[in-house]
């Protein structure tokens, strides 16, 4: 008896055998319908994204629709990575269930790639993850979105032995690396020793350009958590200089954290009515749209989502040199020498002297559209995941060459 012809279709990283009876034309019609209706899902690259903090998934979630249009489907899995290793049984059980859920998803055979944050430094969990991914032929991409300051803190928390095991696993399994800026790549190289990475930058949702920043009073804003690395004391120093020379300007810091030490200083300096720390906000874009400029005082920064948000709103960003923010700005913002508070203050005064309409920075919005919009981010990431990106940052590339390569993205 002659066997019916058959076809093999690839669906969700698996091959499905479809038999056709030569005397059944409806089977051919069914195959055509299957290819048309399921073909999009079958041809899509499905990816698993593990994330520990919501802000680290902002770029991927902002571009999820655009990635889908390019044939990339993402499933997000939340997990808690180390946070002090609590010993309470319920918390440990929740952590274990999160890890099991991610590993089970990897073993399902439904994914062709996985993106995991670099903070997954617990060597036991990373070993399970990399081993399972290799066994099931899942490409792994480590997502480096933190600066050297945070990587050093993580190293101190997990201990030298576990951190060395982490670096050994990276060398043994050779996952690919994604970074959000050349500065992030340089920091990851110094701390962990990665030799090359793809720069995908960050992305934020598109926002309308507000053409009327507040002018009664004008506002200078920063969006960041209140911590030593973000340098709130430098923000206050700059505010003190500007407020002494401008009668009404107000400085607003949007972000959570303790300001107990700053509060007494602000009152003693007479700045408590001119400088406000308003705490965490679900919509920092509202403050940015009201501002005349964004002042980022971070000592160390991989990128800073607030930078992209300000550029999307066509606001000028002022940042210190040597950070990922300065990498992102190029000519669309103002980069001052590290910790030069006087230069930063004079820059703000110059912006406040302009008419309100002239404080709209159209070049910042243009750079956002070209580099940090969901569409631009999706195009870069899709090129990497589909093996079409030829732009790779390497240790041997000088900074100038890196900048030229990234501009071509």
Q: Looking at residue 121, what is its pLDDT?
A: 66
Q: Which long-range contacts (CB under 8 A, 24 or more apart) does 163-166 make?
A: 163/121, 165/123, 166/121, 166/122, 166/123, 166/126, 166/192
Q: Which of 293, 304, 298, 222 is nearest to 58 (CA)?
A: 304
With cut-offs at 50, 70 and 90, classify the pLDDT of residue 364.
very high
- pLDDT tens-digit profile of 21-33? 444 444 444 444 4
Instruction: Write the CA distances from 98 to 150, 191, 194, 374, integer angstroms.
Output: 23, 28, 28, 28
Instruction: Write the CA distances from 255 to 119, 232, 276, integer angstroms.
Output: 22, 11, 11
Q: Looking at residue 396, what is its pLDDT?
A: 64
DSSP assignment of 94-125 equals: HHHHHHHHHHHHHHTT--SEEEEETT---HHH
How are beta strands 293-296 and 219-223 bridged, if at all? parallel
The predicted model gives 76-101 an average pLDDT of 73
Output the average pLDDT for the chain. Answer: 84
- pLDDT tens-digit profile of 316-345? 999 999 999 999 998 999 999 999 999 999
Q: Which of 73-87, 130-144, 155-169 has the lowest mean pLDDT?
A: 73-87
The predicted model gives 196-205 an average pLDDT of 93
Task: Kindly report the three-state secondary structure assignment for every residue of 361-400.
Answer: CHHHHHHHHHHHCHHHHHHHHHHHHCCCCCCCEECCCCHH
The stretches of 257-373 forming alpha helices (DSSP H) are 260-268, 284-290, 305-312, 324-329, 341-352, 362-367
DSSP assignment of 125-177 equals: HHHHHHHHHHHTT-EEEEEE---HHHHHHHHHHH-HHHHHHHHHHHHHH--EE
Q: Which of 75, 89, 173, 76 is nearest to 123 (CA)?
A: 173
- pLDDT surpasses 50 at 226: yes
Global confidence as pTM: 0.83
Q: Which of 171, 170, 190, 188 is nearest to 179 (CA)?
A: 188
- pLDDT tens-digit profile of 168-183? 999 999 999 999 999 9
**Is the Cβ–Cβ distance between 310 and 317 less than 8 Å?**
yes
DSSP assignment of 187-206 equals: HHHHHT---EEEE-------
Q: Which residues contact 238 (CB under 8 A, 6 or more apart)?
A: 251, 295, 297, 341, 344, 345, 348
- pLDDT surpasses 80 at 83: no
Q: What percent of the chain has pLDDT over 90?
A: 58
With cut-offs at 50, 70 and 90, classify the pLDDT of residue 120.
confident
- Cα separation, 156 vs 168, whole angstroms: 17
- Cα separation, 315 vs 326, whole angstroms: 15
The predicted model gives 51-79 an average pLDDT of 90
Tell me how crowded residue 164 is: count the other CB atoms within 10 A of its CB. 12
The predicted model gives 347-366 an average pLDDT of 96
Domains and CATH numbers, the chain: 6-41 (no CATH), 45-199 (3.40.50.2000), 219-371 (3.40.50.2000)
Q: Which residues contact 379 (CB under 8 A, 6 or more apart)?
A: 66, 70
- pLDDT tens-digit profile of 129-144? 999 999 999 999 999 9
Q: Which of 116, 119, 79 is nearest to 101 (CA)?
A: 79
Tell me how crowded residue 54 is: count the other CB atoms within 10 A of its CB. 10
- pLDDT surpasses 90 at 312: yes
Q: Which of 101, 49, 38, 44 is nearest to 73 (CA)?
A: 44
Please, is 216 exposed, middle or buried when counting C-beta atoms within 10 Å of its C-beta (0-12, 13-18, 19+)?
Answer: exposed
- pLDDT surpasses 50 at 409: no
Q: Kindly state the tokens that stand for 285.
A: 């874009």
Of residues 91 and 272, more confidently modeled: 272
Q: How far apart are the first and last CA of the chain?
A: 58
The stretches of 218-270 forming alpha helices (DSSP H) are 232-243, 260-268
Of residues 252 and 187, more confidently modeled: 252
- pLDDT surpasses 80 at 46: yes
Q: Looking at residue 86, what is its pLDDT?
A: 52
- pLDDT surpasses 60 at 35: no
How many residues can be counted in the chain?
Answer: 409
Q: Looking at residue 159, what is its pLDDT?
A: 83
The stretches of 54-88 forming alpha helices (DSSP H) are 58-62, 64-69
Of residues 137 and 98, more confidently modeled: 137
Q: Which residues contact 17 (CB under 8 A, 6 or more apart)?
A: 6, 7, 8
The predicted model gives 308-317 an average pLDDT of 96
């Amino acid at each position: 008896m002659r066997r019916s012809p058959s076809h093999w279709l690839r669906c969700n990283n698996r091959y499905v055998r479809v038999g056709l009876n030569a005397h059944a034309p409806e089977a051919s019609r069914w195959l055509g319908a299957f290819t048309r209706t399921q073909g999009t899902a079958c041809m899509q690259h499905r990816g698993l994204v593990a994330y520990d903090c919501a802000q680290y998934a902002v770029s991927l979630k902002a571009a999820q629709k655009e990635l889908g249009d390019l044939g990339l489907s993402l499933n997000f899995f939340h997990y808690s990575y180390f946070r002090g290793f609590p010993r309470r049984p319920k918390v440990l059980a929740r952590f274990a269930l999160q890890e099991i859920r991610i590993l089970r998803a990897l073993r399902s055979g439904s994914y062709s790639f996985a993106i995991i944050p670099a903070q997954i430094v617990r060597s036991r969990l990373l070993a399970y993850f990399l081993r399972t991914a290799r066994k099931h032929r899942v490409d792994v991409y480590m997502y480096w979105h933190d600066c050297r300051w945070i990587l050093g803190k993580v190293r101190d928390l997990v201990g030298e032995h576990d951190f060395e095991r982490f670096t050994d696993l990276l060398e043994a399994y050779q996952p690919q690396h994604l970074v959000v800026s050349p500065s992030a790549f340089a920091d990851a190289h110094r701390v962990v020793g990665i030799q090359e990475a793809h720069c995908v930058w960050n992305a934020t949702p598109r926002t309308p350009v507000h053409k009327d920043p507040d002018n009664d009073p004008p506002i200078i804003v920063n969006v960041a958590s209140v911590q030593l690395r973000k340098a709130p004391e430098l923000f206050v120093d700059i505010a003190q200089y500007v407020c002494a020379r401008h009668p009404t300007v107000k400085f607003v810091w949007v972000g959570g954290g303790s300001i107990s030490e700053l509060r007494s200083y602000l009152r003693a300096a007479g700045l408590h009515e001119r400088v406000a720390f308003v705490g965490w906000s679900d919509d920092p874009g509202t403050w940015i749209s009201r501002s005349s400029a964004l002042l980022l005082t971070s000592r160390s920064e991989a990128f800073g989502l607030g930078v992209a948000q300000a550029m999307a709103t066509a606001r000028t960003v002022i940042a210190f040199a040597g950070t990922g923010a300065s990498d992102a700005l190029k000519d669309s913002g103002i980069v001052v020498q590290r910790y030069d508070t006087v230069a930063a203050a004079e820059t703000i005064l110059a912006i406040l002297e302009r008419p309100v309409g002239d404080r709209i920075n159209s070049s910042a919005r243009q750079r956002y559209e070209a580099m940090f919009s969901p569409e631009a981010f999706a195009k870069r990431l899709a090129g990497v995941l589909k093996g079409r990106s030829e732009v790779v940052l390497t240790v041997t590339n000088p900074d100038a060459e890196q900048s030229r390569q990234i501009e071509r993205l």
